[in-house]
């Protein structure tokens, strides 16, 4: 799949296209933020927020520009906003207001990662899940073991629904990599 094709498909809510874009550009955005923040957790959080915002606003992407440049710009702005928020002594209104009009990413069919996850022996799967970072363990647990909806996970974690979706995509990809290595 080409990036241009994936973007067009993502604009039509194609889950495979979202997965492709996340896989293709994750390391670039994460690496960019790791250099800026010098902190793995912050870089990962900002990268998740970047993809969440990008997928939410994919219909506004202008193909005259490189997709990676667009992602990096979003990422940079999120980082700047976080720094401003940390430096601010005034507690303003909640930033959750901007996330009320989220864009739904449709996830109807099981992805290859989903199939791998369900085929595994439960005890081995639990051992593999414990190899993930705690916040990924939590979203996997809430989604697959407690069978929470995206909305319920969002409320439970007090995070925007698109952040939850991106976190879950990333967690499934990392878990699938752990499973296939063994």
Summarize pLDDT for 137-164 with one digit per residue, the tens: 999 999 888 888 889 999 999 999 888 9
**Which strand (E) or helix (H) includes residue 132?**
none
- Output the six-digit token pair for 137: 């363990």
Helix (H) or strand (E) holding 102: none
Confidence of residue 85 (pLDDT cuts 50, 70, 90): confident
How far is it, in rounded angstroms, from Cα 89 to Cα 39? 23
Q: What is the pTM of this model?
A: 0.65
**CA atoms of 2 and 17, how far apart (whole Å):** 10
Domain 3-87, CATH: 1.10.1740.10
Maximum mean pLDDT: which of 19-23, 94-98, 114-118 = 19-23
Q: Would you identify the CATH topology of the domain 109-181?
A: Arc Repressor Mutant, subunit A (1.10.10)
Say how far apart CA 163 and CA 7 lie, in whole Å.
19
Answer yes or no: are the C-beta atoms of 121 and 28 closer than 8 Å.
no
- Report pLDDT for 77: 93
> Residue ranges of the domains in the chain?
3-87, 109-181
- CB of 47 within 8 A of CB of 75? yes
Q: 159: buried, middle or exposed (CB in 10 Å: 19+, 13-18, 0-12)?
A: buried
Structure tokens at 34: 């790791």
Q: How confident is the model at residue 93 (pLDDT cuts 50, 70, 90)?
A: very low
């Amino acid at each position: 799949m080409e990036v241009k094709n994936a973007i067009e498909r993502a604009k039509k809510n194609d889950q495979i296209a979202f997965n492709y874009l996340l896989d293709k550009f994750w390391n670039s955005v994460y690496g960019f933020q790791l250099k800026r923040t010098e902190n793995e957790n912050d870089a990962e959080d900002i990268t998740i927020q970047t993809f969440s915002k990008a997928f939410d606003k994919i219909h506004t992407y202008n193909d005259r520009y490189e997709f990676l440049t667009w992602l990096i710009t979003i990422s940079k702005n999120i980082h700047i906003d976080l720094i401003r928020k940390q430096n601010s002594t005034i507690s303003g209104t909640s930033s959750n207001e901007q996330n009320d009009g989220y864009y739904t990413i449709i996830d109807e069919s099981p992805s290859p990662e989903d199939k791998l996850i369900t085929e595994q022996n439960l005890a081995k799967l639990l051992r593999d899940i414990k190899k993930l970072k705690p916040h990924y363990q939590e979203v996997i647990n809430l989604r697959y073991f407690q069978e929470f909806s995206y909305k319920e996970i969002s409320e439970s974690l007090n995070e925007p629904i698109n952040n939850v979706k991106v976190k879950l995509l990333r967690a499934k990809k990392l878990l699938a990599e752990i499973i296939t290595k063994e």
